[in-house]
Structure 1
């Protein structure tokens, strides 16, 4: 694993916007000098490294499924801040194995040892378009003889064909809370992959979904019944809203309700309980840092690195935010590796239950937040 510099393509902004990354200018807070998409650098991997990472990621995914089984069987949903009224529905969703589409692991990896799990974005992961499409075309334009850990697009199409969805169109729902356009473009891309798989689709704003109380069903603005829906709207938000009581029992949602367990950082502590000392895990606890001298406190339902606190013998660091009311997990802290002053996080993608690709974000800070930049990667061909 190496970080290498290169010359950006002529008119690269126009190129990536034409590939769907129209939100790259709005993806960053104002005032940053570095662009969100930065192809002036990239990471190079050997095929052996990638094959090893694939094995590690699939093993981690299997461990996460075992953790979900344990949580349901032991009745530990309160540890995940699941509302008491929804606990049985989450359990039933898991017991039915409601179909799922995709997820993203965030990993610490420096090329010299096993990857370490930082968190699992298993409900509403983003940076998909960058990982699947945009960096693939970068590779073809700049290093056509090399390869990339990237079968995301093909696997998404295959997965849409496999999903046992009810008849009729699948609705794709975004939220009007999205101001950058990232969510809308991610939804449009996923909708396109579903259509390429032969699915009929309809776009709808989450705020425009209505509840037909007489017929006990969800409908769109044209009164069409919503039998299945893909959403980039977290389950914890849905469960906190009035219609959430209907959503857990009506319609097929992707991602399914049981993903509320895997997208919650309490998962990190359960994994450490079930697989103590596993080389891909960092120690993590729900009841405090215990004997950890360096740790990071993460809100169970936090996003974009907000409301986190790092504690080390040499000092600490906090990020602003309003998360944490639901509780924290305390995870052993290992600083992200330093490559030329930048600290990468590897985002390893799962499509269904198979590892499918890699996206990399990097920042100068110890916590990856909304100031990070996405950089492409390649696999060197020997």
Structure 2
């Protein structure tokens, strides 16, 4: 694994704009950054990234099966009791899921280490699945990359296959509404991309903003035109939905959710100490503990609020006692402590690997790079290639 400088495509920004990737620049700073790429060997990808992803995913799914049957675990996961049966039933009835992303620290030489799971509302999807693949093809065509270069990336193909399977097996309603909040261009672009994947395999789709979802007198969830929503893909946190106005109506089961209710088990940081309790010493896990329950982290630690997203409200203490932190809105919720395991440093950048899982299979990765040890929502996306 190494970071390699490469000339940018002269028209990449125009292409991004034309393709709807308008958040390529955030607050005047690069989000998409193709001035360099990360080069991996095939062995590194297959043995260290793909296999680690498969093992961690399998452990996480076994944890869901255990947690839905344990009120004690659901309580430790900070899930409101009113939703326990709803979540349990969604797992027991086999409600399908589509995708998730796990964040891994990896320097090319040792086991990849799990930082966290993003299994309810993962973003950075379009740029990982499509735009970095387009970069690869065009760099090969122009001679910027060798002809034999490849990329760990069958994300789009897997998403289309997953949606096709759900439709073919009648695991979803006659159509899917896709939804995100009105004010987020990134979230809207993500669901537009997923909607296009579903549309490609013949699924009828529609879009509704989260704010425009209502409920009829008969208890059916509806869009702004009063059409009943049978299946909703929502890029909106389950924990938000549970505490908002229509939260109690979710348990009626009149609307199918993608991702399903059981993803609440995996959508917060409490999953990290629970995995460590069950698989202590696993090479792909870091020691993690619930704050206040006692821990043995003496060589540095990272404090993460249970429902923190996009690097918000993270506090990091190095073995030397140096403290780093990030602001955010999650400063009043319970937290976990995870062992300090810094991201590797390449030419002043600290890359985090986002490893994608679609329908239980590892399918690709994208890298986010920051100038510091905490990866944030503005951290740069840098493409990758398999060289050799």
> 2:194 is paired with a residue of what secondary structure?
helix
- Per mean C-alpha deviation after superposition, the further-off stretch among 142-151 and 232-241 is 142-151
1:322 and 2:319 aligned: no
- Provide the rounded CA distance (Å) in 2 between the counterparts of 1:89 and 1:177: 29
- The aligned counterpart of 1:292 is 297
Contact 1:172 1:230 in 2 (8 A): yes
Residue among 150, 155, 177 paired with 1:152: 155
> 2:69 is paired with a residue of what secondary structure?
helix
- Provide the rounded CA distance (Å) in 1 between the counterparts of 2:273 and 2:254: 31
> 1:43 is paired with a residue of what secondary structure?
strand
Contact 1:176 1:207 in 2 (8 A): yes
> 1:258 is paired with a residue of what secondary structure?
helix
- Provide the rounded CA distance (Å) in 2 between the counterparts of 1:45 and 1:78: 41
> 2:68 is paired with a residue of what secondary structure?
helix
Residue among 61, 69, 73 paired with 1:73: 69
- The aligned counterpart of 1:258 is 262
The alpha-carbon deviation at position 91 of structure 1 amounts to 1.6
> 2:323 is paired with a residue of what secondary structure?
strand
- The aligned counterpart of 1:48 is 43
- The aligned counterpart of 1:13 is 13
> 2:207 is paired with a residue of what secondary structure?
strand
> When the two structures are superposed, what TM-score results if normalisation uses the length of structure 2?
0.93
User: How does 1:173-192 map onto structure 2 within 5 Å?
Assistant: 173-178=179-184, 181-192=185-196
Q: Deviations over 1:304-347 (max 9, x none)?
A: 11111112342211211220433001100111101111100000
User: How does 1:140-289 map onto structure 2 within 5 Å?
Assistant: 140-144=137-141, 145=147, 146-163=149-166, 164-178=170-184, 181-213=185-217, 215-248=218-251, 249-288=253-292
- Provide the rounded CA distance (Å) in 2 between the counterparts of 1:312 and 1:45: 28
- Provide the rounded CA distance (Å) in 2 between the counterparts of 1:4 and 1:166: 44
> 2:327 is paired with a residue of what secondary structure?
coil
Structure 1, unmatched stretches of 5+, are none
Q: Deviations over 1:138-158 (max 9, x none)?
A: 000113521100101111111
The alpha-carbon deviation at position 31 of structure 1 amounts to 5.6
> 2:20 is paired with a residue of what secondary structure?
coil
1:331 and 2:338 aligned: yes
- Provide the rounded CA distance (Å) in 1 between the counterparts of 2:8 and 2:159: 29
1:370 and 2:366 aligned: no
- The aligned counterpart of 2:108 is 111
Q: Deviations over 1:134-189 (max 9, x none)?
A: 000100011352110010111111100111434422111111242xx111111111
- The aligned counterpart of 1:360 is 367
Structure 2, unmatched stretches of 5+, are 142-146
Alpha-carbon RMSD: 1.3
Q: Deviations over 1:56-97 (max 9, x none)?
A: 101110000111122222221111111111122112212222
- Provide the rounded CA distance (Å) in 1 between the counterparts of 2:97 and 2:176: 14
- Per mean C-alpha deviation after superposition, the further-off stretch among 304-313 and 257-266 is 304-313
Q: Deviations over 1:234-259 (max 9, x none)?
A: 10110010201112332111000111
Residue among 124, 137, 155 paired with 1:127: 124
- Provide the rounded CA distance (Å) in 2 between the counterparts of 1:41 and 1:123: 30
- Per mean C-alpha deviation after superposition, the further-off stretch among 314-323 and 129-138 is 314-323
The alpha-carbon deviation at position 355 of structure 1 amounts to 0.5
- The aligned counterpart of 1:101 is 98
Residue among 134, 137, 140 paired with 1:137: 134
- The aligned counterpart of 2:307 is 301
The alpha-carbon deviation at position 291 of structure 1 amounts to 1.4
